[in-house]
Amino acid sequence: MRRIVITGMGAVTPVGNNVEEFRTAIFSGKNGIAPITKFDASEMKSQVAGEVKNFDANAILGKAVARKIDPFTQFALVASREAMEQSGLAGTMESDRIGVCFGSGIGGINTLCTDHKNLLEKGARKVSPYFVPKMIYNIAAGNIAIEFKANGPCVAVSTACATGTTAIGEGYRTILHGYADAMICGGAESGIEPLTIAGFANCQALSNSNDPETACCPFDKNRSGFVMAEGAGVVVLEEYEHAVARGAKILAEVVGYGSTCDAHHVTAPDPDATYVTKAILEAYQGLGDIDLSEVYFNAHGTSTPLNDKTETTAIKKAFGEDAKKLHISSTKSMTGHMLGATGTVEAIACILAMQENTVPPTIHYAEPDPELDLDYTPNVAVKTPINGAISSNLGFGGHNAVIALKKI
């Protein structure tokens, strides 16, 4: 069996525009949720979001590049550059042995909304010639491949809110079965638009609180929905012997991946949690020699009533009484829900937790829910030995994706 390791990380998030800023934020309990500034949200049911801050695409990417790509691809390229720079992988291998597995939940919705408005208000001639290649959700994967001359497998995945985790898992399988020796994996999202906020709010998915300190409170009794956010996360996966041979710094090992579908409902998780449990156990197999007291579980933890209850049920079904040993938290309490980006950003949180031997907190946790009785690391980070990590993400359509990481 080939071993797969992580040699690079990159992040653009509501609490930091690189991995080091993100590291500082998640261990200090920084709140990235604030009133929406991208548009006038005063008439919206939901008026708060996790916006990326102080991000100047023109300055970072150059105007010529930035104007041709949607914000979700801008985030993707910046995070990819950080991850690839850390990995030192560029130029070390045949180009057809490096690939890309990258996705988004809703792709270039910003471009879609902008050009649709132009069409209605100014006519067809005012629709950008870049409209299609800016909007299609596979274009971030394509741009990453072009940037790094990755001629191997290039796949765009979309499993809604599980996308970032699915991208890592499928990249892991691609290397495991010999189709590539390295993969650039992740997800990106920039969907804080009136249309998407209204849509999610009207299907009762978003929080009913517009107070940034109470809107996102995973596992709390008063949770009422998730908070929209944006950003990107990227990890570089590499075959272990290849990484060792070139002297790469290894950040963690990917030791398991579980992928299932509830096949139950388009938005609601199956309350029995049967197939979430199966995905957790499939991923966990690679951590079998690590005691659960030394495992960090980064929960999907969206702050919706059904998700947090279902995920808790799944953890209990998977581990029985030993579930109480797990160190669980939801970093979405700080970032909000980055949809297609969230899984990869949370995988990075897992790696940082192992590096720091510290569990990031679930902030905004005020009132325990009697039905949710595990250790959710309320409000303050906890120092403790962390030798393994599990990251779980669940998406509309019943998609479940779980990965397991090991300190190496």
Residues 40 and 309: their CA atoms lie apart, in Å, by 34
Q: What are the strands of the beta sheet with 4-12, ordered from one edge?
A: 154-157, 98-103, 182-189, 231-239, 4-12, 252-261, 399-406, 388-395, 295-298, 327-329
Known active-site residue 185: no
Query: Which residue in 242, 300, 364, 399 is the catalytic one?
Result: 300
Known active-site residue 300: yes
User: Which structure tokens are listed for 77?
Assistant: 């390229």
User: Which structure tokens are listed for 89?
Assistant: 């992988």
Contact predicate 183/157, CB 8 Å: no
CB contact set of 44 (below 8 Å; sequence gap of 6+): 36, 194, 197, 198, 201
Say how many CA atoms lie within 13 Å of 93 toward its Cβ: 26
User: Which structure tokens are listed for 357?
Assistant: 């031997």
Taking CA 244 as the corner, what is the angle to CA 187 and CA 234, rounded to the nearest 5 degrees? 10
Alpha helices by DSSP H, 16-89: 19-28, 57-61, 63-66, 71-87
Query: Which residue in 337, 350, 364, 399 is the catalytic one?
Result: 337
Query: Which residue in 161, 216, 217, 350 is the catalytic one?
Result: 161
Residues 7 and 243: their CA atoms lie apart, in Å, by 8
**Unique residue bearing structure tokens 């130029």:** 91
Q: What are phi and psi of 2, to 5 degrees?
A: -75, 145
Residues 197 and 194: their CA atoms lie apart, in Å, by 5
Closest Cα partner for 349 from 163, 98, 165, 213? Answer: 165
Known active-site residue 327: no
β-sheet bridge partners, residue 13: 16
Q: Annotated active-site positions, please?
A: 161, 300, 337
